[in-house]
Structure 1
Amino acid sequence: MAELGALTEVDLREVWGNEARDFTPWLKENIDRLNQVLELDIEITEREGPVGPFAVDLVGQDLGSGRTVIIENQLAPTDHTHLGQLLTYTAGRGAKIVIWISPQFREEHRQALDWLNENTGEDQAFFGVEIKLVRIDDSRPAPLFKLVSQPNEWQKSVASARATSTRGETYQAFWTTFLEKLKERAPGLTNAKKGLPQNWCSISAGRSGFAYAAAFKLKGRFGVELYIDTGDKEKNKQFFDQLYEHKDSIERELDMALSWERLDNVRACRIAIYREGSIDAGEEELNDLQDWAIANLVKFRDAFGKRIKAL
């Protein structure tokens, strides 16, 4: 008969003595562990992101939907203070995916998250996640995430999203290869590994509300862009106008003319370059599109990155 080890729980504070100094940085660097549990593709863009005079532990973006994500952590049982903070940060950041992590959820707080999921819009999602540390015999401690609250029909909607069309599968294969190349040629630009069955691929620009993207457009066009959507139309236009003031120097730095799209009739703004390109093209042309997009995304990061931070 095979011998089995004994599973024991480890006090979180043996590994993470301080939530802000130890656990939050660890989670930022190991967000893929949480992604596996939630079946999302979150990329963290900010730590201690400002919300008025307060700060939310982590801010990010779900690369699959483009929705803003906030994560609030604590290494103690849930309490009313953190629930209030969570709601304040949700409103202040316009977050659509809200994650609360604790080693123990009190029943009234789990019920509060369930109520929020039942009474907010379909694009709003609140998750309660319990964190434990376990070891087998004398092994190293391992983190264990457990979902205790999630939106109704969440698993069903995730499964539905996976049931992609043939065209969706083609997009997914294209973006997966694209991300593999991007990771090799521009390490650190994104942590995303798997392409999604859609006509675009978004990458954090290092600040909430800003993203670089490559996308197949209508009329056989393919583009690389900086997309601005903070959730506030007025702020988006102000940020666009501030960047536009540096149009000449940016275009000289990039050595190319850009399409400056303020998009006054919608909330977001876009700064882009385009070329011909279709997902129905042959393998050689698709490879060329990937190479072109990667080269220009790197240029966009170098030209816009420092300017975005300075806004």
Structure 2
Amino acid sequence: MFRIDKDENSIKPLKARSFSELGFKERQHLQEWIAKYPSCLGEDLLIIQKEFAGFSDTQERLDLLALDKKGRLVIIENKLDDTGKDVTWQAMKYASYCASLKTESICGIYQDHLTKTGQPGTASELIADFLEVADLSEVTLNRGVSQRIMLIAANFRKEVTSTVLWLMNFKLQVQCFKVTPWSMGDDLFLNVEQIIPVKDTQDFVIGLADKAQDEVQTSSAEAARNTIRREFWGEVIRVMQTKSRLYDNISAGVANWIGAGSGMRGVGFNFAAAGKYGRAEIYIDRGEQAENKYVFDQLLAQREALEAAFGGPLVWERLDHRRACRIKCETEADMFEREDWPRMIEFMTDAMVRIEKAFRDPLQKLNADVRSRTFEPEAGGDGS
């Protein structure tokens, strides 16, 4: 690894170091670095526990337990300067132990982690936000044999890499990351490089496994839920069309939401529904967190006038831990219970008509303001 010296138009080599000579420890340092910045492993991960020991009849502890964006558990095992020869077997044991964990247990594990580390929030809500779903009832965590393994070390023994490559033939998702500390003077650097599978081929390899798993896991229950969603949204659109032309060109789908444009890019007049709620909302996601928060804050400054025009209070969710924002009117209901539909749909469509009336003109004025501005990306935004 080299440092570019623009003044001299040259490169200067950095010195490869070892963790041991620098005095770094596996648990105290490497594990904490990854826990605080899991995206160094090349994707968005949610760390839900450190030193997890919740296995029956064993005192073993896995280093880090995480969720990926598909709701799969990720077992992360860290070693410093050498993997040792048994790390693959160790990680596979942990993956087998975790295979039986259900959504409720995973939420409990994460809630325990939040409590221990002094972090605010409710585990189920934070996981739903991370997965970008309205409610955890919409997904199944740790489905089937979807557990993933990530091995991290400065050097990998041949018996480890050979075993990992063999396991990949059976569609087990195992990744190896080589971590190397470097120095130049008093400055220290860390390089994290995925070596198995080679990064350029990872999507292809994992894609084949995911496709096979998705085909196996497709169930009649999921198909039935999709049928209900499509029918529900068809009824919402039908009733909405008797009150407004906003949804004249919108089709029913199988997601937990449908949306219509507001005239401002990235700001939608959306309906959302699940097993616990039905709502009408303004959903703000223009692609950049700073821009979304600005739009929300400008509307929030007009809250009194907007709620007066709407005819009641609204729930204002800036969602600082996410990229998007929302302003909503919600009722408790279950879209999968047909008895709830008349009351639920009447509430949602009535709220949407009033939301559109209250917000249409303010959004048009705000649109001109936003288009004249340049927004800098916010530090620490998670991009979701």
Q: TM-score, normalised by structure 2?
A: 0.37
Q: TM-score, normalised by structure 1?
A: 0.45
Of Structure 1 and Structure 2, which has the larger fraction of its residues in strand? 1
Which of these two proteins has the greater Rg computed from alpha carbons? 2
